[in-house]
């Protein structure tokens, strides 16, 4: 791999740039706490690794080169972001989970049916949000070739770079989840609802921008 240090700088910059994954994480962490937010991070990271594998297989290049494929993914991703955002803005039935109920009760595994459902939903949202984002396809097509030397096995190199990006994501998003979780322990539920609505509005803005984006 060419210039490992340069790649690390780019990967860190990409991770720290706020995007739909960040807004979704804020919403999940504000409503459910850090444990459910961790599931969302796992889903997002799995999507990044899948895109890394698809880039090595040439699928990312196909999406980048085909206007139809790009537009289908773009509109699907926009609809998904709009749906998430509208849900967050309009949600009134599900109050934010209290810090006490989001923690694992001593003597239990913390994996009961009702507790497992929000985690699976958060994981699924993170995965779909990542996979339905055509910008990731463009990102991998534009970035990976710059750091792969001729004769290098593409799949291992692509997966290694994707894993580095995931490591940065887990570190940064995990820190954000912990901070939001601490914050939610000392504020009133109405403040958490405000944060949820704000993150929902941001998701809607990202969805509208993606829907009107040109390739």
Of 204, 179, 180, 210, the C-alpha closest to 192 is 180
Q: How many CB atoms lie within 10 A of CB 50?
A: 16
Give the separation between CA 52 and CA 40, rounded to whole angstroms: 19
Return mean pLDDT, the chain.
80
Structure confidence by residue, pLDDT tens digits, 38-81: 999 999 999 999 988 888 777 666 666 677 877 887 788 788 88
Q: Please state whether the predicted TM-score (pTM) of the whole model is above 0.85.
A: no
Tell the burial category of 79 from Cβ atoms under 10 Å away from its Cβ (0-12, 13-18, 19+): middle
Using alpha carbons, list the distances in angstroms from residue 63 to 46, 57, 67, 188.
19, 12, 8, 45
Report angle CA 74, 77, 80 to the nearest 5 degrees.
150
Structure confidence by residue, pLDDT tens digits, 167-203: 999 999 999 999 999 988 887 777 778 888 888 888 8
Q: Do residues 158 and 106 make contact, with C-beta atoms less than 8 angstroms apart?
A: no
Give the separation between CA 24 and CA 125, rounded to whole angstroms: 8
Q: SS3 of 53, please?
A: helix
* Reported confidence tier of residue 159, pLDDT bands at 50, 70, 90: confident
Q: Where are the domains of the chain?
A: 17-101+116-211
């Amino acid at each position: 791999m060419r210039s490992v240090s340069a790649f690390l700088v780019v990967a860190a910059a990409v991770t720290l740039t706020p995007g739909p994954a960040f807004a979704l994480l804020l919403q999940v962490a504000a409503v459910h706490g850090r444990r459910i937010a961790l599931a969302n991070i796992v889903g997002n990271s799995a999507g990044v690794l899948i895109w890394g594998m698809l880039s090595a297989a040439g699928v990312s290049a196909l999406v980048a080169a085909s206007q139809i494929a790009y537009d289908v993914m773009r509109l699907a991703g926009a609809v998904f972001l709009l749906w998430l955002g509208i849900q967050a803005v309009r949600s009134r039935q599900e109050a934010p989970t209290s810090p006490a109920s989001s923690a694992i009760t001593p003597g239990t595994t913390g994996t009961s049916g009702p507790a497992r459902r929000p985690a699976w939903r958060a994981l699924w949202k993170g995965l779909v949000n990542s996979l339905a984002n055509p910008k990731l396809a463009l990102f991998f097509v534009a970035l990976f070739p710059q750091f792969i030397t001729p004769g290098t096995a593409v799949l291992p190199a692509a997966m290694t770079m994707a894993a580095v990006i995931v490591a940065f994501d887990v570190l940064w998003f995990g820190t954000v989840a912990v901070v939001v979780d601490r914050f939610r322990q000392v504020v009133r539920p109405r403040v958490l609802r405000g944060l949820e609505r704000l993150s929902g509005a941001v998701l809607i803005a990202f969805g509208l921008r993606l829907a009107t984006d040109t390739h």
